[in-house]
Amino acid sequence: MSERSQRVSAICRRSATAAVLMLLASVGLARAEPTFALAWFGRDGRLLVSVSPDGRGWAPPVRHRAAIRSANGPALLFDARAGWRLFWFTPDRARLGISRGNGNARRGVKFGPVRLQQIPSGHRPFADPSVRPAAAFNGEHWVLAYGSQQAGRITLAVADARRGGWTFSAVAGGRGWITPPALAHGNGQFLLAYVVAAPGRSGQHLLKMRRSEDGRRWSPPFDPRRAGKPGGGRPIYLAPVQGPVLTFDGTRFLLAVTNRRDRNAPRFLYRYDLYASDSGGRWTPLDGGFVAWSTTRAAVSLTVKPHDGCTLVAVSSSRPSGGFSARNIHIRHGVTRTEECGRAHTIRWAPLNAPFPLRSMLDRFVAAAYGEPQ
């Protein structure tokens, strides 16, 4: 082989090596690609999960192999150290299902073996399709909140992330407590939100909250208020179509609640109002309220990309035109802190090669989460 041929061969080998390294690097980046995920149970009882890198274009749902079967919707969380976690109730509501997942927007998010935790008889959720666990994690403890069979009681289930094992306790949900609670962790505290009948105001409903540092000891209930003049601010009244929803965007809490009534909307159309707060006491209304068909079985999920404040809102709802049996997912992607996300707008689900429309697959409530897999 001539000297020139040897030089050409060496250059080709170096180029091939560089190409392989670039390919491996791109694969590594793909594994760490940020991901929005939606999870729900299909009509056959199997878990369905769809992912998106940006909240706009969605991959076909991945069907979980295990027939989990639940009469309620799941809770979905992501933690950089713990990965994806899924919680749900078994059909008899006597056990708590737990599963860990991994994956990203390229490969999808898949969940592993299912672990079942027995729920003490006094802390089983009440029998209604709207009941699903609300979940939060502070790096040390997993905390779940849901409506108990005991009238007016909210069950708090806590597990140590290292030792495992769940403990169950309850707090009073207040007079006329009727909708599932919401739960989030941020700024060193857990925040619990729920709806009660407003004292002295027949037919009106009020938002209540409690705080906790460890998920076990909770503050007395307090009235969160809309931001207003110093020392003032009105309580937050809402329609009891469903429970509130909480999340944390890295610096503050975000809250979604059903507005009491949109006067310019048809009978079954409700508006969801968005608020932000540093600690949960005073809440500032955000631009980006939206409307969606709602019934007492509607459910909304809220998740945020912490680094730029983009919010994904997923609403599972019945439509009056469908006789309250046709269910669908409405997805909104809006602004909470910056203009990088664009204005709040409806995002259509891209069925791609899905075998049938999404609404015919959906029979439960949807859960949303955002993760940055390592």
Q: What is the pTM of this model?
A: 0.83
Ordered by start, the domain boundaries in the chain are 1-31, 36-371
Taking the C-alpha atoms of residue 365 and residue 245, their distance in angstroms, rounded to an integer, is: 13
Which CATH number is 36-371's, of 2.120.10.80, 2.30.40.10, 3.40.50.720, 3.90.1310.10?
A: 2.120.10.80
pLDDT score recorded for residue 22 = 38
The residue among 191 and 226 whose pLDDT is bigger is 191
Closest CA relative to residue 188, chosen from 134, 246, 251, 135: 251
The residue among 280 and 128 whose pLDDT is bigger is 280
pLDDT band at 192 (very low <50, low <70, confident <90, very high): very high
pLDDT score recorded for residue 264 = 61
**What does each C-alpha distance from 328 to 16, 113, 128, 245, 294 come to in angstroms?**
49, 28, 19, 19, 11
Q: Cα angle at 54 between 53 and 55, to 5 degrees?
A: 110
H or E element in which residue 10 lies: helix 3-31
Taking the C-alpha atoms of residue 363 and residue 238, their distance in angstroms, rounded to an integer, is: 26
To the nearest whole number, what is the mean pLDDT of the chain? 77
Taking the C-alpha atoms of residue 216 and residue 210, their distance in angstroms, rounded to an integer, is: 12
pLDDT score recorded for residue 103 = 86
pLDDT band at 286 (very low <50, low <70, confident <90, very high): confident
Taking the C-alpha atoms of residue 75 and residue 184, their distance in angstroms, rounded to an integer, is: 12
pLDDT score recorded for residue 135 = 96
The answer to whether residues 36 and 53 touch, using CB atoms and an 8 Å cutoff, is yes
- Cα 179 versus chain centre, distance: 16
DSSP letters, 144-202, are: EEEEBSSTTEEEEEEEETTTEEEEEEEEE--TT--S--EEEEETTEEEEEEEEEPTT-T
b (16+ CB within 10 A) / e for 176-203:
ebbbbbbbbbbeebbbbbbbbbbeeeee
The pLDDT tens digits for 289-319 are 666 555 555 667 888 888 777 888 877 665 4
Indicate the residue type of 12: C
Other CB atoms within a 10 A radius of the CB of residue 68 amount to 20
The pLDDT tens digits for 92-125 are 889 999 999 988 888 888 888 889 999 999 999 9
The pLDDT of 154-175, averaged and rounded, is: 89
User: Which DSSP letter does residue 90 get?
Assistant: -
The residue among 217 and 18 whose pLDDT is bigger is 217
The answer to whether residues 130 and 179 touch, using CB atoms and an 8 Å cutoff, is yes
The pLDDT tens digits for 60-97 are 788 887 667 777 789 999 988 888 999 999 888 899 99
Lowest mean pLDDT across 115-119, 154-158, 254-258, 342-346: 342-346
